[in-house]
Amino acid sequence: MRAEGVRIQNLCFSYTPGKPVLREVSLDIQPNEKFGIIGPSGAGKSTLLLHLNGILSGGGTIHIGETPVSPETLAPVREKVGLVFQNPDDQLFNPTVEDDVAFGPLNFGLSPEKVRERVKTALADMNLTGLEKSAPHHLSLGERKRAALATVLAMRPAVIAFDEPFSNLDPAMVAQLVNLIKALETTLVVISQSIFPLIACCDRMAILNEGRIAAVGSPKALAGNAELMRENGLDLSLYRGVCEGLFFKMGSDQVKL
Ligand SMILES: Nc1ncnc2c1ncn2[C@@H]1O[C@H](COP(=O)(O)OP(=O)(O)OP(=O)(O)O)[C@@H](O)[C@H]1O
Ligand SMILES: [Mg+2]
């Protein structure tokens, strides 16, 4: 499917009356853009993502390309937007990994041959070749996360919305996922607490804090603004100290924090 833009206008949402979780969130994400959203725990990131394919529905409007997200458009919207949940166990429910990855393409009515090819490619991209017949609950958490990503990759949606894709992956897998994300010809909305992978794979980034967009800009510019990051609950001074110790003082045998 061709990449499509995501336009969010004045999105407001509360789980409990009087306790807003999203406050007037507006974002304009371009087709094929890799867009990161960072923010402290509880900022409303996952809540925002769940609006993109209509699992939650708040005030304001969301468009995927020209299609408004509404109760009447849920079927086309869910074909366009592939959502990868924070917890892979919310995504994997079939007896084997290959059944889970085949589930979406089969539902789209693809031929068995095409489905086999999609499953093979998605599993290879996620380094899961050989685990086709495994039961998802027998995989490690990192493997289950990759399997959950594979279920969405196999559907080749116009927009992929990833919730914390980098957590519980080993460094080599994070690097592989960053490269995969950069190469995808689809729009990506990536929510993460991991600033380095976001800098490595995103064209732009937003900071979400207490349900509000605090800033939008290039990931490097935002992450390099220590005061902005700190004000929004994202203190990177520990990382900065470690990085300086590791990469800029190679002669020193002590990491200065
Ligand atoms: N189903 C729910 N019912 C009531 N409150 C909820 C529900 N889900 C989330 N919340 C609350 O909404 C707020 C935002 O939660 P959300 O999961 O969107 O945050 P987040 O930014 O994704 O955090 P994290 O980085 O920890 O995943 C939190 O205060 C949370 O307790
Ligand atoms: Mg979350």
pLDDT tens-place string over residues 11-39: 999 999 999 999 999 999 999 999 999 99
Q: Which CATH class is domain 6-223?
A: alpha beta
Q: Which residue spans of the chain are classified as CATH 3.40.50.300?
A: 6-223
Average pLDDT over residues 140-160: 92
pLDDT tens-place string over residues 84-122: 998 999 999 999 999 999 999 999 889 999 999 999 999
Average pLDDT over residues 147-175: 91
Q: Whose CA is nearest to atom 16 of ligand 1?
A: 44
Q: What is the DSSP string of the chain?
A: -----EEEEEEEEEEETTEEEEEEEEEEE-TT-EEEEE--TTSSHHHHHHHHTTSS--EEEEEETTEE-SGGGHHHHHHHEEEE-SSGGGT--SSSHHHHHHHHHHHTT--HHHHHHHHHHHHHHTT-TT-TTS-GGGS-HHHHHHHHHHHHHTT--SEEEEESTTTT--HHHHHHHHHHHHH-SSEEEEE-S-HHHHHHH-SEEEEEETTEEEEEE-HHHHHT-HHHHHHTT---HHHHHHHIIIII-TT-SS---
Q: Which ligand is nearest to the CA of 233?
A: 1
CA of 41 to the centre of ligand 1 (A): 8
Which residues are within 5 Å of ligand 2 (an ion), measured at CB? 45-46
CA of 173 to the centre of ligand 2 (A): 21
Which atom of ligand 1 is found nearest the CA of 191?
A: 22
Of 8, 7, 5, 36, the residue nearest 23 (C-alpha): 8
Ligand 1 pocket test, pick from 21, 52, 192 with the greatest ligand atom count within 8 Å of Cβ, gives 21
Average pLDDT over residues 54-73: 96
Choose between 210 and 185: higher pLDDT.
210
Q: Which ligand is nearest to the CA of 14?
A: 1
Q: So what's the pLDDT on residue 120? A: 97
Q: Which residues line ligand 1 (CB under 6 A)?
A: 15, 21, 39, 41-47, 86, 193
CA of 218 to the centre of ligand 1 (A): 26
Which atom of ligand 1 is found nearest the CA of 208?
A: 21
Q: So what's the pLDDT on residue 77? A: 95
pTM of the model: 0.90
